[in-house]
Amino acid sequence: MYLVTGGTHGIGRACVEKLAGEGLPVLFTGRDHDAGTELSTALPGTIFVAGDVSRETDCRTIVDKALELGNGAIMGLVNNAGTSRRVTFARSGIEDWDAVLDVNARSAFLFMRFALDGLIAAKGSVVNIASVAGLRGEEGLAIYCASKAAVIGMTQALALEYGETVRFNVVCPGQVDTRMMERISSDPALRRPLELRIPAARFGQPGEIADVVSWLLSDAASYVNGAVIPVDGGETSGLRTPRQV
């Protein structure tokens, strides 16, 4: 059984579609019941379990269901669920910290901890979705950056600890056309400056991230462990010469 969190929209949905298209059994979760039900109906071999990954009890219930369906084994886990709050540091509060860290970092910890025995039994693979914002700071996103940096550090530590049996890798998407980016991507005045700083000169698509995730979960990546892979059109390669908007 393969388990994907945040699987009803964006990158998570693309991962569910990619894995199901390869004939793999997928259990996915999310808070959007209607979207999850629609997707599982459209994709044979997938099962949707509604849940809120900020709640420990929901995380446990979802993993237990995946273990039950997988006869105690989890071949692959994709921790994709994420949230963001763009707020200046001076205006941020502990409620912002908790809301972002609970979804982005704490849920990844809980899913990996609860699924660990099943992953070991299957000699499985974990792909955690972080962000280029976990590799360097971004103005107005201090808490989000902290949460994604935490995911990267935790993943690499687990790669060292369990590398003989389970592989742990991180994918760091750049600017991708998802609901989380809609405020920016739908406004040309905000989108174009971002595109100009990306060597590929465009936003990525969720399916392009899912392709990398699928590869990391597969035997084709059997010697890839502890890797942090930016999928960002070259954005984090360095500084570009300023261009006209």
The whole-model pTM stands at: 0.94
Give the pLDDT score at 66. Answer: 98
DSSP of the chain: -EEESS-SSHHHHHHHHHHHHTT--EEEEES-HHHHHHHHHHSTTEEEEE--TTSHHHHHHHHHHHHHHTTT--SEEEE---------GGG--HHHHHHHHIIIIIHHHHHHHHHHHHHHHHT-EEEEE--GGGTS--TT-HHHHHHHHHHHHHHHHHHHHHTTT-EEEEEEE-SB-SGGGHHHHT-HHHHHHHHHTSTT-S-B-HHHHHHHHHHHHSGGGTT--S-EEEESTTGGG-PPPP---
144 catalytic, yes or no? Answer: yes
- Name the catalytic one among 2, 144, 162, 223: 144
pLDDT digits (tens, 9 = 90+) for 54-85: 999 999 999 999 999 999 999 999 999 999 98
- pLDDT band at residue 243 under the 50/70/90 scheme: low
- pLDDT band at residue 176 under the 50/70/90 scheme: very high
Domains detected in the chain? 2-177+205-231 (3.40.50.720)
Rounded average pLDDT over 223-241: 93
- pLDDT band at residue 240 under the 50/70/90 scheme: confident
pLDDT digits (tens, 9 = 90+) for 3-50: 999 999 999 999 999 999 999 999 999 999 999 999 999 999 999 999
